[in-house]
């Protein structure tokens, strides 16, 4: 079938401002939007630039706005979209070229929440024990692939990129509720500051955008509750 | 010199082996990691089913059994000293990941959960053993995330989106690398005492592949261009269960949890090919069985796919037939909810890409290009060795899929790739730092970027009409048809001629993007050149090896031939020609015998 794909284009070495270009492409209904982008690049215009790697929703490279919604281009199928597909860079991060945005503010926020297990106790010779129930407590947030679909769908992040944003809070949640970790209080303090969870207004954009089906808003809610009550249950 | 950097150790690639190497090297030496992707995008993150280690958490198991299974899985081409080393280090390596915070799935009593996987057996009964330590079906994702987190904790230096294009060798020792900063297009020179290649595999050579777009064999091809040999390149693994037409991996863990393969007649055909372990035979064995079924017209609807069936009623029926028991001795019975909890990503992939709910419908699957057993030859310390006598190239290291230790020989067992990453990543890091701490920097050539610029300029100045996209498609198609699961001399000769033609054609592609910022067109063409070079070497090695062993199955030479071929291939490219030589396999305890599952 023939489809039209309208793509946000910006080449900082040539263009004064961004514009859109539309391409007519033959595509299979089961093609991913990423396949269509590859085809446009390969057959029509090699200058079209975007990130991609695994092509099945696990590496998190190809977060884009597709018909107004944050998606991974490799998890959005042609058959599930209108005949006219519109692809734009994710919002709230500076566009560098075409669909390439500057990911640094996003990763800086990630690094700010102590994104690693803290536990200085001497570990046992074998594994630390953790019950399936304890593991289940933070299992959902371990699925995060740092694609930024959630954070760049959040109006609070659009307003100020210093807001830690859903992805960083999800990362913090993953450690705060891990029975093996010992830095929950420190993380909760960070999340309770000016650019922390207070900026979440429970709009649910993040949960809708998450390609890994993480219950992002719920995770943020649990963090808010932990801050309010000082308890982790 | 502008854009000049100096570190004791440079790690190229930020997947499991690169991050593990960086963690260990950075303890005692200044270390930087260069990666063409953000580290968390690396292909390690796509590994699903588990990491192999004989913890014995679920049932009796021993590192010795793991060692023998790996030797047998390799079709006796793996080096037994290295395999023994890996399997005995495995247990501690997995505990170490747990201590780093890896969120493993757990047994009821809180230990690391384990599941059966292909080719891993109880050496007494010959039945499948639960050896794969897993985090649901995202074990690779969790390893990658955990190691990246640890690198942040330990302040490892990262150069993200820096693509390495050349290796500098001075006076027979590694001296650094040249990389392009994708965001600016500028070349950078990284001067180092030790260089560790952890650049992954090259599965994009084949049409149906589980591999990421970025899996273009960069490190392997750079080494080849700089005169290093590649080992055992004819051995490439085709995983039995890729999503039909797309190649996306469906973990062997599905069969570990009791899923089975069926043909058009609804038969569980693996009973005919591997009576003892059936669907949990080694990957090469299962992929060949699938091809034979499809060739006999028993593909679904006569087409080139079969079914992978994990519907609970089917799992339970065959588990009962096999007499499979839970660890507590009760019969093995699963529910849809349990499968969903253990294999959530698989369910998501099937729903997204196939429109199939695997709890109520079988999944259409076909073998998919998956893993390079061959690569840059190393010893078990990660040191690169460059000839038949295993002479070390000072300062040069490799680990992970890019390396050929050789652990996997002619066929890798599932779960052994993640194990390979953590064990040999660690040792490459340790050895590289140790080397750097007693070595001095080589004097770099006057213009270290010269060779890199020659390669890029050739692409920039190209004036033809061909597209890399079309050339790539033709390579993938012929390689999948002729240098895939089954091979013949005739087919491979055709493939070789085609690949050589494409190597000429790629020199005359259409004029590319001339920008500097994120010029992915020029780099995609460069990557295609890497794939073509490796496709040629793969085919030449495969043509020369007139036997069938592991992942290399010749229809014209269907038997393994230990008298003539119990040896590793080494391939160099010299003056545009592939030169082959061979070196012996290290055999310690296990003499080769017939391989039956």
Q: What is the pLDDT of residues A164-204, one digit of tens each?
A: 999 999 999 999 999 999 999 999 999 999 999 999 999 99
CB-based contact, B99 to chain A, within 8 Å: yes
Q: Report residue A6's pLDDT band, with 50, 70 and 90 as the boundaries.
A: very high
Burial, B155: exposed, middle or buried (Cβ in 10 Å; 0-12, 13-18, 19+)?
A: exposed
Question: CB within 8 A of B296, min separation 6: which ones?
Answer: none
Q: Which residues of A touch B356 (CB under 8 A)?
A: none
d(CA A41, CA A88): 15
Please report the residues numbered 211 through 230 in chain B whose beta carbons come closer than 8 angstroms to any beta carbon of chain A: 212-214
Return the DSSP state at B412. P
- Per CATH, which fold does B241-369 belong to? Flavocytochrome C3; Chain A, domain 1 (3.90.700)
Question: CB within 8 A of B143, min separation 6: which ones?
Answer: B16, B44, B47, B51, B97, B102, B418, B421, B422
Q: Residues B115, B138, B255, B283: which is the catalytic one?
A: B283
What distance in Å separates residue B13's CA from the closest CA in chain A? 14
Determine the angle formed by the axes of helices A165-176 and A216-229, rounding to 10 degrees. Answer: 60
Q: What is the pLDDT of residues A140-170, one digit of tens each?
A: 999 999 999 999 999 999 999 999 999 999 9
Average pLDDT over chain B, rounded to whole? 97
Q: What is the pLDDT of residues B463-492, one digit of tens each?
A: 999 999 999 999 999 999 999 999 999 999
d(CA A5, CA B89): 52
Nearest CB among A13, A38, A57 relative to B516 is that of A13
Q: What is the pLDDT of residues B537-584, one digit of tens each?
A: 999 999 999 999 999 999 999 999 999 999 999 999 999 999 999 999
pLDDT of residue B587 exceeding 70: yes
pLDDT of residue B1 exceeding 70: no
Q: What is the pLDDT of residues B99-153, one digit of tens each?
A: 999 999 999 999 999 999 999 999 999 999 999 999 999 999 999 999 999 999 9
What are the start-end ranges of the H helices in B396-443?
Answer: 416-438
Domain with CATH 1.20.58.100 in chain B: 450-567
Is the domain spanning B450-567 CATH 3.40.190.10? The answer is no
Q: Report residue B375's pLDDT band, with 50, 70 and 90 as the boundaries.
A: very high
B376-377/B403-404 β-pairing: parallel
Interchain contact, B41 vs A46, CB within 8 Å: no
d(CA A137, CA A178): 7
pTM summary value: 0.98
Q: Which residues of A touch B138 (CB under 8 A)?
A: 58, 142-143
Q: What is the pLDDT of residues A59-101, one digit of tens each?
A: 999 999 999 999 999 999 999 999 999 999 999 999 999 999 9
pLDDT of residue B81 exceeding 90: yes
Burial, A29: exposed, middle or buried (Cβ in 10 Å; 0-12, 13-18, 19+)?
A: exposed
d(CA B564, CA B567): 8
B577-584/B567-574 β-pairing: antiparallel
Q: Determine the pLDDT at residue B327.
A: 82
Closest alpha carbon to A117 in B243, B302, B153: B153
Interchain contact, B101 vs A180, CB within 8 Å: yes
Nearest CB among A60, A75, A111 relative to B40 is that of A60
CB-based contact, B183 to chain A, within 8 Å: yes
Question: CB within 8 A of B567, min separation 6: which ones?
Answer: B582, B583, B584, B585
Residue B272 bears catalytic tag: no
Q: Determine the pLDDT at residue B63.
A: 98
Nearest CB among A39, A53, A181 relative to B37 is that of A53
Interchain contact, B149 vs A127, CB within 8 Å: no
Domain with CATH 3.50.50.60 in chain B: 4-46+141-237+371-438
Q: Determine the pLDDT at residue B2.
A: 78
Q: What is the pLDDT of residues B457-468, one digit of tens each?
A: 999 999 999 999
Q: What are the residue ranges spanned by the domains of chain A?
A: 2-101, 104-229
Q: What backbone phi and psi angles, to 5 degrees, belong to A226?
A: -65, -40
Return the DSSP state at B217. -
Determine the angle formed by the axes of helices A184-191 and A216-229, rounding to 10 degrees. Answer: 100
Question: CB within 8 A of B401, min separation 6: which ones?
Answer: B17, B200, B201, B371, B372, B375, B417, B420
Mutation to test the A interface, candidates B91, B98, B370, B523, most A Cβ within 10 Å: B98
Q: What is the pLDDT of residues B269-319, one digit of tens each?
A: 999 999 999 999 999 999 999 999 999 999 999 999 999 999 999 999 999
Buried b (16+ CB within 10 A) or exposed e, B372-387: bbbbbbbbbbbbbbbe
Domain formed by B4-46+141-237+371-438, architecture: 3-Layer(bba) Sandwich (3.50)
Polymer length in residues for chain A: 233
Interchain contact, B518 vs A54, CB within 8 Å: no
Q: Is the dihedral of CA B239, B242, B244, B247 positive or negative?
A: negative
Q: Which residues of A touch B45 (CB under 8 A)?
A: 54, 58-59, 145
- Out of 2.40.50.140, 1.10.760.10, 1.10.1060.10, 3.40.720.10, the CATH code matching A104-229 is 1.10.1060.10
Question: Average pLDDT in the B204-219 region?
Answer: 98
* C-beta of residue B381 within 8 angstroms of C-beta of residue B48: no
Interchain contact, B353 vs A77, CB within 8 Å: yes
Interchain contact, B142 vs A142, CB within 8 Å: yes
- Per CATH, which fold does A2-101 belong to? Ubiquitin-like (UB roll) (3.10.20)
Q: Determine the pLDDT at residue A233.
A: 76
* C-beta of residue A110 within 8 angstroms of C-beta of residue B158: no
Sole residue written with tokens 């500076």: A94
pLDDT of residue B181 exceeding 70: yes
Determine the angle formed by the axes of helices A165-176 and A132-139, rounding to 10 degrees. Answer: 170
Q: Which residues of B touch A51 (CB under 8 A)?
A: 41
């Amino acid at each position: 079938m023939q489809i039209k794909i309208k793509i946000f284009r910006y080449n900082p070495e040539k263009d004064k401002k961004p514009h859109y270009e539309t391409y007519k492409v033959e595509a299979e209904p089961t093609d991913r939007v990423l396949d269509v982008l590859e085809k446009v690049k390969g057959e029509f215009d090699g200058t079209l630039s975007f990130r991609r790697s695994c092509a099945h929703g696990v590496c998190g490279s190809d977060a884009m706005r597709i018909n107004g919604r944050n998606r991974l281009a490799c998890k959005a199928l042609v058959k599930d979209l209108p005949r006219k597909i519109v692809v734009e860079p994710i919002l709230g991060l500076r566009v560098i070229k075409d669909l390439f945005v500057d990911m640094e503010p996003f990763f800086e926020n990630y690094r700010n929440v102590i994104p690693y297990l803290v536990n200085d106790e001497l570990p046992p010779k074998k594994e630390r024990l953790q019950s399936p129930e304890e593991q289940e407590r933070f299992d959902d947030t371990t699925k995060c692939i740092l694609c930024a679909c959630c954070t760049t769908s959040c109006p609070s992040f659009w307003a100020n990129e210093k807001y830690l944003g859903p992805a960083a809070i999800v990362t913090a949640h993953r450690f705060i509720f891990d029975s093996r970790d010992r830095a929950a209080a420190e993380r909760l303090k960070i999340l309770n500051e000016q650019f922390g969870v207070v900026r979440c207004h429970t709009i649910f954009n993040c949960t809708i955008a998450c390609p890994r089906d993480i219950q992002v808003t719920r995770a943020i809610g649990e963090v808010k509750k932990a801050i309010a009550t000082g308890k982790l249950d | 010199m502008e854009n000049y950097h100096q570190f004791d150790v440079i790690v190229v690639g930020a997947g499991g082996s690169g991050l593990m190497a960086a963690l260990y090297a950075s303890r005692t030496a200044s270390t930087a990691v260069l990666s063409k992707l953000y580290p968390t995008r690396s292909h390690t993150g796509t590994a699903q089913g588990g990491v192999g280690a004989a913890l014995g958490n679920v049932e009796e198991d021993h590192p010795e059994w793991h060692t023998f299974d790996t030797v047998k899985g390799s079709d006796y081409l793996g080096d037994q000293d290295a395999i023994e080393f890996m399997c005995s280090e495995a247990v501690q390596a997995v505990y170490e990941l747990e201590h780093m915070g890896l969120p493993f799935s757990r047994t009821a009593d809180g230990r690391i959960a384990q599941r059966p996987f292909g080719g891993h057996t109880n050496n007494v009964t010959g039945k499948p053993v639960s050896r794969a330590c897993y985090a649901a079906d995202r074990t690779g994702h969790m390893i990658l995330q955990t190691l990246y987190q640890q690198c942040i904790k330990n302040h490892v230096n990262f150069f993200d989106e820096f693509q390495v294009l050349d290796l500098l060798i001075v006076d027979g020792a590694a001296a650094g690398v040249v990389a392009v900063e994708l965001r600016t297009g500028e070349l950078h020179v990284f001067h180092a005492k030790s260089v560790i290649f952890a650049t992954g595999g090259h599965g994009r050579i084949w049409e149906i592949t589980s591999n990421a777009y970025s899996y273009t064999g960069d490190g392997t091809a750079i080494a080849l261009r700089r005169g290093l040999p590649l080992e055992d390149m004819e051995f490439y693994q085709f995983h039995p269960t890729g999503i039909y037409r797309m190649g996306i991996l469906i973990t062997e863990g599905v069969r570990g949890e009791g899923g089975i393969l069926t043909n058009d007649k609804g038969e569980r055909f693996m009973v005919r090919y591997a009576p003892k372990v059936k669907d949990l035979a080694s990957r090469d064995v299962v992929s060949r069985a699938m091809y034979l079924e499809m060739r006999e017209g028993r593909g679904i609807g006569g087409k080139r796919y079969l079914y992978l069936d994990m519907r609970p009623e089917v799992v339970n029926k065959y588990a009962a037939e096999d007499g499979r028991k839970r660890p507590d001795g009760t019969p093995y019975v699963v529910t849809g909810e349990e499968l969903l909890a253990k294999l959530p990503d698989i369910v998501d992939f099937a729903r997204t890409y196939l429109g199939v709910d695997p709890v109520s419908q079988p999944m259409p699957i076909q073998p998919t290009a998956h893993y390079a057993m061959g690569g840059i030859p190393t010893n078990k310390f990660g040191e690169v060795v460059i000839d038949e006598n295993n002479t070390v190239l000072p300062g040069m290291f490799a680990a992970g899929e890019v390396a050929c230790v050789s652990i996997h020989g002619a066929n890798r067992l599932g779960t052994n790739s993640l194990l390979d990453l953590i064990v040999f990543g660690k040792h490459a890091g340790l050895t590289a730092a140790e080397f750097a701490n007693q070595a001095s920097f080589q004097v770099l050539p006057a213009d270290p970027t010269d060779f890199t610029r020659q390669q890029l300029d050739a692409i920039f100045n190209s004036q033809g009409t061909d597209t890399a996209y079309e050339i790539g498609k033709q390579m993938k198609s012929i390689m999948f048809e002729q240098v895939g699961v089954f091979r013949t001399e005739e087919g491979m000769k055709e493939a070789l001629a085609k690949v050589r033609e494409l190597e000429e054609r790629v020199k005359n592609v259409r004029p590319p993007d001339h920008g500097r910022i994120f010029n992915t067109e020029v780099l995609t063409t460069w990557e295609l050149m890497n794939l073509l070079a490796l496709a040629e070497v793969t085919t030449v090695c495969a043509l020369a090896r007139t036997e069938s062993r592991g992942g290399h199955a010749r229809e014209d030479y269907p038997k393994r031939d230990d008298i003539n071929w119990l040896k590793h291939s080494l391939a160099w490219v010299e003056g545009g020609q592939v030169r082959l030589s061979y070196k012996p396999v290290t055999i310690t305890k296990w003499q080769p015998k017939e391989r039956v599952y």
